[in-house]
Amino acid sequence: MRVVIFGPQGAGKGTQAQRISKKTGAKHISTGDLVRAEIKSDSDLGKKIQDYNDRGDLVPDEIIIEMAKPYLAETDAWLLDGFPRNEAQAKALDDALEELGIGLDGAIAMEAPDDALVKRLSGRRTSEATGRIYHVEHDPPPEEDPGPFNQRKDDTEEAILHRLEVYYKHTEPLKDYYDERSILVSVDATKGIPEVTEDVLRAIGEDG
Protein backbone atom coordinates (compact mmCIF):
# COMPACT_ATOMS: atom_id res chain seq x y z
CA MET A 1 0.00 0.00 0.00
CA ARG A 2 1.58 3.27 -1.17
CA VAL A 3 -0.89 6.11 -0.80
CA VAL A 4 -0.90 9.92 -0.73
CA ILE A 5 -3.48 11.69 1.45
CA PHE A 6 -4.52 15.30 0.86
CA GLY A 7 -7.30 17.73 1.67
CA PRO A 8 -7.90 21.20 3.12
CA GLN A 9 -6.58 22.12 6.55
CA GLY A 10 -8.97 20.91 9.21
CA ALA A 11 -10.08 17.86 7.23
CA GLY A 12 -8.09 15.56 9.54
CA LYS A 13 -5.34 14.30 7.19
CA GLY A 14 -2.72 13.87 9.89
CA THR A 15 -5.13 12.26 12.35
CA GLN A 16 -6.35 9.74 9.77
CA ALA A 17 -2.84 8.98 8.50
CA GLN A 18 -1.74 8.18 12.06
CA ARG A 19 -4.78 5.97 12.72
CA ILE A 20 -4.44 4.10 9.43
CA SER A 21 -0.72 3.63 10.08
CA LYS A 22 -1.47 2.04 13.46
CA LYS A 23 -4.17 -0.22 12.05
CA THR A 24 -2.27 -1.42 8.96
CA GLY A 25 1.41 -1.10 9.89
CA ALA A 26 1.95 1.26 6.94
CA LYS A 27 4.51 3.99 7.66
CA HIS A 28 3.10 7.51 8.10
CA ILE A 29 5.43 9.85 6.23
CA SER A 30 4.66 13.47 7.13
CA THR A 31 6.79 15.86 5.11
CA GLY A 32 6.28 18.51 7.80
CA ASP A 33 7.74 16.14 10.43
CA LEU A 34 10.61 15.22 8.09
CA VAL A 35 11.48 18.89 7.55
CA ARG A 36 11.49 19.58 11.30
CA ALA A 37 13.60 16.47 12.02
CA GLU A 38 16.09 17.32 9.28
CA ILE A 39 16.55 20.86 10.64
CA LYS A 40 16.95 19.52 14.17
CA SER A 41 19.60 17.01 13.03
CA ASP A 42 21.78 19.93 11.83
CA SER A 43 22.67 17.98 8.67
CA ASP A 44 23.83 19.75 5.50
CA LEU A 45 20.34 19.25 4.05
CA GLY A 46 18.79 20.51 7.28
CA LYS A 47 20.91 23.66 7.15
CA LYS A 48 19.86 24.22 3.54
CA ILE A 49 16.18 23.88 4.51
CA GLN A 50 16.69 26.24 7.48
CA ASP A 51 18.15 28.84 5.11
CA TYR A 52 14.95 28.79 3.03
CA ASN A 53 12.83 29.05 6.18
CA ASP A 54 14.90 31.95 7.52
CA ARG A 55 14.42 33.85 4.26
CA GLY A 56 10.70 33.11 4.30
CA ASP A 57 10.98 31.14 1.06
CA LEU A 58 9.28 27.84 0.24
CA VAL A 59 11.56 24.82 0.32
CA PRO A 60 12.01 23.71 -3.34
CA ASP A 61 10.21 20.55 -4.44
CA GLU A 62 13.46 18.77 -5.33
CA ILE A 63 14.74 19.19 -1.76
CA ILE A 64 11.51 17.79 -0.28
CA ILE A 65 11.74 14.83 -2.70
CA GLU A 66 15.42 14.27 -1.89
CA MET A 67 14.58 14.25 1.80
CA ALA A 68 11.57 11.91 1.45
CA LYS A 69 13.09 9.40 -0.99
CA PRO A 70 14.84 7.17 1.57
CA TYR A 71 11.59 6.85 3.52
CA LEU A 72 9.59 6.05 0.38
CA ALA A 73 12.09 3.35 -0.60
CA GLU A 74 12.57 1.62 2.75
CA THR A 75 9.10 0.10 3.09
CA ASP A 76 6.41 -1.39 0.84
CA ALA A 77 3.57 0.31 2.70
CA TRP A 78 3.32 4.04 3.42
CA LEU A 79 0.97 7.01 3.59
CA LEU A 80 2.46 10.29 2.39
CA ASP A 81 0.96 13.31 4.17
CA GLY A 82 1.77 16.93 3.22
CA PHE A 83 3.11 16.31 -0.28
CA PRO A 84 2.19 16.74 -3.09
CA ARG A 85 0.33 20.05 -2.77
CA ASN A 86 0.05 20.85 -6.48
CA GLU A 87 0.32 19.17 -9.87
CA ALA A 88 4.01 20.05 -10.35
CA GLN A 89 4.82 18.33 -7.05
CA ALA A 90 2.67 15.33 -8.04
CA LYS A 91 4.68 14.96 -11.25
CA ALA A 92 7.96 15.32 -9.31
CA LEU A 93 6.77 12.58 -6.94
CA ASP A 94 5.88 10.35 -9.90
CA ASP A 95 9.38 10.83 -11.32
CA ALA A 96 10.99 10.00 -7.98
CA LEU A 97 8.88 6.85 -7.55
CA GLU A 98 9.74 5.78 -11.09
CA GLU A 99 13.45 6.17 -10.26
CA LEU A 100 12.89 3.98 -7.20
CA GLY A 101 11.04 1.41 -9.31
CA ILE A 102 7.81 1.68 -7.33
CA GLY A 103 4.31 2.95 -8.07
CA LEU A 104 1.53 4.82 -6.32
CA ASP A 105 -1.48 2.69 -5.36
CA GLY A 106 -3.95 5.34 -4.24
CA ALA A 107 -4.72 9.00 -3.57
CA ILE A 108 -7.11 9.82 -0.74
CA ALA A 109 -8.93 13.16 -0.96
CA MET A 110 -10.42 14.23 2.38
CA GLU A 111 -13.48 16.42 1.75
CA ALA A 112 -15.57 18.71 3.95
CA PRO A 113 -17.62 21.88 3.32
CA ASP A 114 -16.05 25.23 4.17
CA ASP A 115 -18.39 25.98 7.07
CA ALA A 116 -17.47 22.70 8.80
CA LEU A 117 -13.75 23.39 8.34
CA VAL A 118 -14.05 26.95 9.65
CA LYS A 119 -15.96 25.70 12.71
CA ARG A 120 -13.44 22.94 13.33
CA LEU A 121 -10.32 25.12 12.98
CA SER A 122 -11.58 28.31 14.61
CA GLY A 123 -12.52 26.33 17.72
CA ARG A 124 -8.98 25.02 18.27
CA ARG A 125 -7.11 26.19 21.35
CA THR A 126 -3.57 25.32 22.46
CA SER A 127 -2.64 25.07 26.14
CA GLU A 128 0.42 27.12 27.06
CA ALA A 129 1.02 24.81 30.02
CA THR A 130 0.94 21.42 28.27
CA GLY A 131 1.09 22.16 24.52
CA ARG A 132 -2.02 20.05 24.00
CA ILE A 133 -4.58 21.12 21.40
CA TYR A 134 -8.26 21.15 22.34
CA HIS A 135 -11.51 22.22 20.73
CA VAL A 136 -13.88 24.54 22.55
CA GLU A 137 -16.90 22.48 21.49
CA HIS A 138 -15.79 18.92 20.67
CA ASP A 139 -12.83 18.44 23.02
CA PRO A 140 -12.79 21.09 25.76
CA PRO A 141 -9.77 21.27 28.10
CA PRO A 142 -9.95 19.12 31.23
CA GLU A 143 -9.91 20.77 34.66
CA GLU A 144 -6.37 19.55 35.38
CA ASP A 145 -4.92 21.54 32.46
CA PRO A 146 -4.29 25.05 33.85
CA GLY A 147 -3.88 26.73 30.45
CA PRO A 148 -4.10 29.54 29.43
CA PHE A 149 -5.58 28.47 26.09
CA ASN A 150 -4.61 30.40 22.98
CA GLN A 151 -5.95 30.53 19.45
CA ARG A 152 -3.36 30.38 16.65
CA LYS A 153 -3.25 33.50 14.50
CA ASP A 154 -3.97 31.43 11.40
CA ASP A 155 -7.07 29.87 13.01
CA THR A 156 -9.19 33.00 12.73
CA GLU A 157 -12.08 32.76 10.26
CA GLU A 158 -10.46 35.25 7.86
CA ALA A 159 -7.15 33.36 7.82
CA ILE A 160 -8.89 29.99 7.39
CA LEU A 161 -10.91 31.21 4.40
CA HIS A 162 -7.70 32.50 2.79
CA ARG A 163 -6.01 29.11 3.29
CA LEU A 164 -9.02 27.42 1.74
CA GLU A 165 -8.76 29.68 -1.32
CA VAL A 166 -5.13 28.65 -1.72
CA TYR A 167 -6.11 24.98 -1.35
CA TYR A 168 -8.85 25.16 -3.99
CA LYS A 169 -6.55 26.96 -6.41
CA HIS A 170 -3.44 24.79 -6.06
CA THR A 171 -4.21 21.46 -4.37
CA GLU A 172 -7.77 20.50 -5.26
CA PRO A 173 -6.83 20.03 -8.97
CA LEU A 174 -4.92 16.95 -7.78
CA LYS A 175 -8.30 15.22 -7.66
CA ASP A 176 -8.52 15.38 -11.46
CA TYR A 177 -4.84 14.43 -11.80
CA TYR A 178 -5.27 11.22 -9.79
CA ASP A 179 -8.80 10.49 -11.03
CA GLU A 180 -7.43 10.27 -14.57
CA ARG A 181 -5.20 7.45 -13.30
CA SER A 182 -8.16 5.76 -11.58
CA ILE A 183 -6.50 5.81 -8.15
CA LEU A 184 -8.53 8.62 -6.54
CA VAL A 185 -10.67 7.91 -3.48
CA SER A 186 -12.82 10.74 -2.04
CA VAL A 187 -13.78 10.46 1.63
CA ASP A 188 -16.36 12.45 3.63
CA ALA A 189 -14.25 13.97 6.41
CA THR A 190 -17.27 15.37 8.33
CA LYS A 191 -18.11 11.98 9.87
CA GLY A 192 -16.76 10.85 13.23
CA ILE A 193 -13.03 10.08 13.31
CA PRO A 194 -13.42 6.25 13.67
CA GLU A 195 -16.00 6.19 10.88
CA VAL A 196 -13.75 8.15 8.52
CA THR A 197 -10.91 5.72 9.29
CA GLU A 198 -13.10 2.76 8.37
CA ASP A 199 -14.22 4.48 5.15
CA VAL A 200 -10.58 5.05 4.15
CA LEU A 201 -9.55 1.48 5.00
CA ARG A 202 -12.48 0.12 3.01
CA ALA A 203 -11.67 2.36 0.05
CA ILE A 204 -8.05 1.23 -0.14
CA GLY A 205 -8.90 -2.42 0.43
CA GLU A 206 -7.38 -2.64 3.90
CA ASP A 207 -10.54 -3.27 5.94
CA GLY A 208 -9.68 -6.89 6.62
Q: Residues with catalytic annotation? A: 13, 85, 124, 152, 163
Q: What share of the chain is helix, strand, coil (3-state, %, to 5)?
A: 50, 15, 35
* Sequence-ordered list of residues with C-beta below 8 angstroms from that of 170, at least 6 positions apart, any chain: 85, 86
What number of CA atoms fall less than 13 Å from residue 135's CA on the CB side? 11
Phi and psi at residue 172, to the nearest 5°? -60, -30
Q: Is the peptide bond before 8 cis (omega within 30 degrees of 0)?
A: no
Cα 85-137-144 angle, rounded to 5 deg: 105
Rounded Cα–Cα distance for residues 25 and 30 (Å): 15
